[in-house]
Amino acid sequence: MITDQRLSTKRPRVLALSSGGGHWVQLLRLRPAFEGSDVTYATVSRGYESEVDGAKFRPIIDSNRDTKFKLILCFLSIAWSIIRIWPNTIITTGAAPGFFAIFVGKILRRKTIWVDSIANAEELSLSGQKTGKYVDHWLTQWEHLAKPEGPHYYGDVLGNDASGEAIADRKSLITDQGTSTQQTSSSRCSITEAEDLSPQSSDFNTQKSFRIFVTVGTDQHFNRMVKIVDDWAANHPEIEIFVQIGETDYTPKNIPFSKFLEPSEFIAKVRSASLVVGHAGMGTILTALRHQKPILVMPKLARLGEHRNEHQTATAKHLSLKKRVKVAFNEHELHSILENLDDLSTSGKIGARASESLTHYLKASIQK
């Protein structure tokens, strides 16, 4: 036992921290970089703990620039976590909690790594821009945003095409087995990659019934999308539709719905769907692609109060150019695509991990 403890202390301690949703999904896709390290995961809800399958986990307080008081609490919770864990390296995919972690880490002379979210396709996030002056390794996931002085580009969380890649070994997520994991549930939708990822057919002609899963995320309303799908459903009773409406004010009249879903429920909905329709959030997009499902997205617009900024439009545009998603940029396009479902096919397939070039760089940086 003493020998095991001594060996454990020789492994670099890593704090892998992020906000929830798409930031968390991206962080989990980096897990090959943590192999051989004593890793602790930290994010904004205890409900995510089940997704790290026994690895060390710490909840932190969530915040954004619209919740000033919670920003202070978030900062304090992160500072306390860093002091308790005393990691050699702090790595984050954002957003505000990640910035705080980098800031505190530099004060305490910890090695720091920022991987800006792939959602930021035209410019770095505000937190990502500010982080550049503090962080040791400053990365973007878009090659056209890289600069000689940073941020630098080594790959992205989309990784390689899934063809020829084996389903990821669950053990790669468990870089350090802790004691028994307390299984808790989240009142909000979260997305895990630690589920059974064996592909299910998304061929429209082979499924007994056509099922559409609609998801709008957990922040801000998306009345436009929900109303269009609800109205369209009235004329297509033969199609099974379920919608997760989040903070949407509009109440569907023709289709079943839920405000939020538990993680296991969300995965089940994606896996059983013939088509996923959603906002252009990276958590939704990555999960649909990972399960080899066609995905149709419509970006939320900040000018309509649907989001804090217009990054979803940029995300959708660039991923569309990569042939990863089908995009409806407005209500008319969404209705038109729904009327021609036979033209849709699986947009693309991704493996269980980020690109090897990215995870190899991160692992080498951690092990130095």
* pLDDT for the residue numbered 10: 85
Considering the entire predicted model, what is its pTM? 0.82
Full 3-state SS string of the chain: CHHHHHHHHHCCEEEEECCCCHHHHHHHHCHHHHCCCEEEEEECCHHHHHHHCCEEEEECCCCCCCCHHHHHHHHHHHHHHHHHHCCCEEEECCCHHHHHHHHHHHHCCCEEEEECCCCCCCCCCHHHHHHCCCCCEEEECCHHHCCCCCCEECCCCCCCECCCCCCCCHHHHCCCECCCCCCCCCCCCCCCCCCCCCCCCCCCCCCCCCEEEEECCCCCCCHHHHHHHHHHHHCCCCCEEEEECCCCCCCCCCCCEECCCCHHHHHHHHHHCCEEEECCCHHHHHHHHHCCCCEEECCCCHHHCCCCCCHHHHHHHHHHHCCCCEECCCHHHHHHHHCCHHHCCCCCCECCCCCHHHHHHHHHHHHC
Looking at the fold, whether 64 and 83 belong to one and the same domain comes out as yes
In this prediction, what percent of the chain has a pLDDT beyond 70? Answer: 83
Residue 217 reports pLDDT greater than 70: yes
Looking at the fold, whether 362 and 285 belong to one and the same domain comes out as no
* 319 occurs within a structural domain: yes
Looking at the fold, whether 224 and 163 belong to one and the same domain comes out as no
pLDDT tens, position by position, 338-347:
999 887 765 6
For the chain, what is the domain count? Answer: 2
* 103 occurs within a structural domain: yes
* 252 occurs within a structural domain: yes
Looking at the fold, whether 13 and 108 belong to one and the same domain comes out as yes
How high is the mean pLDDT of the chain? 85
* pLDDT for the residue numbered 326: 93
Give the least confident one: 43-52, 240-249, 340-349. 340-349
* 98 occurs within a structural domain: yes
Looking at the fold, whether 319 and 361 belong to one and the same domain comes out as no
Looking at the fold, whether 300 and 151 belong to one and the same domain comes out as no
Looking at the fold, whether 11 and 100 belong to one and the same domain comes out as yes
CATH number at residue 267: 3.40.50.2000
* 263 occurs within a structural domain: yes
Domain range for 296: 211-343
Looking at the fold, whether 307 and 330 belong to one and the same domain comes out as yes
Looking at the fold, whether 357 and 316 belong to one and the same domain comes out as no
* 258 occurs within a structural domain: yes
Looking at the fold, whether 223 and 327 belong to one and the same domain comes out as yes
pLDDT tens, position by position, 291-331:
889 999 999 999 999 988 888 999 999 999 988 899 999 99
* 233 occurs within a structural domain: yes
* 204 occurs within a structural domain: no
* pLDDT for the residue numbered 345: 66
pLDDT tier at 213 (50, 70, 90 boundaries)? very high
Looking at the fold, whether 315 and 357 belong to one and the same domain comes out as no
pLDDT tier at 267 (50, 70, 90 boundaries)? confident
Looking at the fold, whether 119 and 139 belong to one and the same domain comes out as yes
